[in-house]
Chains A and B, each alone.
Chain A
Amino acid sequence: ETGVTQSPTHLIKTRGQQVTLRCSSQSGHNTVSWYQQALGQGPQFIFQYYREEENGRGNFPPRFSGLQFPNYSSELNVNALELDDSALYLCASSLWGWDGYTFGSGTRLTVV
């Protein structure tokens, strides 16, 4: 079975710009979650998508938005980038409900 793949692996953006990160779910998984991981910290929940709709959200502002596609792949969009948005962004797929996540290797975003 394929794992979770994320692209790009690294990205450098300027403050105020917009960025789109992409994620392909593990085969058979129907739920995608996005997490932000600052250096030395645990991942923080951004939001979750199930059946192409956002059905759970953490404490992140509306400039963080996303999409899930019919093939369960997903995008994370961040508008008006701030320096504090610099972090590792992790995508995790799961089978709805009660199974553990399969995480991708992440996208390292640096905002300068």
Chain B
Amino acid sequence: QQPVQSPQAVILREGEDAVINCSSSKALYSVHWYRQKHGEAPVFLMILLKGGEQKGHEKISASFNEKKQQSSLYLTASQLSYSGTYFCGARGGGGGADGLTFGKGTHLIIQP
């Protein structure tokens, strides 16, 4: 089952904050967040693991609610470079052999 991301799209002014949510119907072991700009490869932002461990970029923050199987990505003081499509990828198993199941993405546009 594909995670559900919300909102589908958001337009912000530079400097504003945004929250992108990712919700799964199945138990999760980890959640990944990636940003993809048009015509480019997805870029790793953050991984959140069951039990509270997190790895990612210093300027990115996120949360993982294991009970609700939900994750949120927090973008503060947005910059023009934050524009792109944000994907959450969910992994249900504890084994590393499971691939990620990605959501459909959230399109973020930052205007000057």
The answer on a CB contact under 8 Å between B55 and A99 is yes
The answer on a CB contact under 8 Å between A103 and B47 is no
Which B residue's beta carbon lies closest to that of A56? B97
Interface string of A15-48 (1 = CB under 8 A from B): 0000000000000000101010000111111111
Q: Which residues 2-30 of B have a CB within 8 angstroms of A?
A: 2, 30
The answer on a CB contact under 8 Å between A31 and B87 is no
B: interface residue count bin: 20 to 34
* Nearest CB of chain B from residue A7's CB, rounded to whole Å: 14
Residues on B with C-beta less than 8 A from A33 are 99
The answer on a CB contact under 8 Å between A100 and B55 is yes
The answer on a CB contact under 8 Å between B104 and A45 is no
Residues on A with C-beta less than 8 A from B98 are 56
Cβ of A58 within 8 Å of any chain B Cβ, yes or no, is yes
Mark A residues whose CB is within 8 Å of B.
4, 31, 33, 35, 40-48, 50, 55-56, 58, 90, 96-106
Cβ of B110 within 8 Å of any chain A Cβ, yes or no, is no
Residues on B with C-beta less than 8 A from A102 are 44
Assuming A31-B96, A42-B105, A97-B96, is B41 touching A105 (CB within 8 A)?
yes
The answer on a CB contact under 8 Å between A90 and B47 is no
Assuming A42-B105, A44-B102, A99-B47, is B96 touching A106 (CB within 8 A)?
no
Assuming A98-B49, A98-B96, is B103 touching A42 (CB within 8 A)?
yes
The answer on a CB contact under 8 Å between A42 and B102 is yes
Which A residue's beta carbon lies closest to that of B46? A100
Q: Which residues 55-69 of B have a CB within 8 angstroms of A?
A: 55-56
Pick from A45, A46, A100, A105: contact of B44, CB under 8 Å: A100
Residues on B with C-beta less than 8 A from A47 are 99
Q: List 28 A-B contacts (CB under 8 A).
A: A31-B96, A35-B99, A41-B104, A42-B2, A42-B87, A42-B89, A42-B103, A42-B104, A43-B42, A43-B100, A44-B102, A45-B99, A45-B101, A46-B99, A47-B99, A48-B99, A50-B96, A55-B97, A90-B42, A98-B30, A98-B47, A98-B96, A99-B55, A100-B55, A100-B56, A101-B100, A104-B41, A105-B41
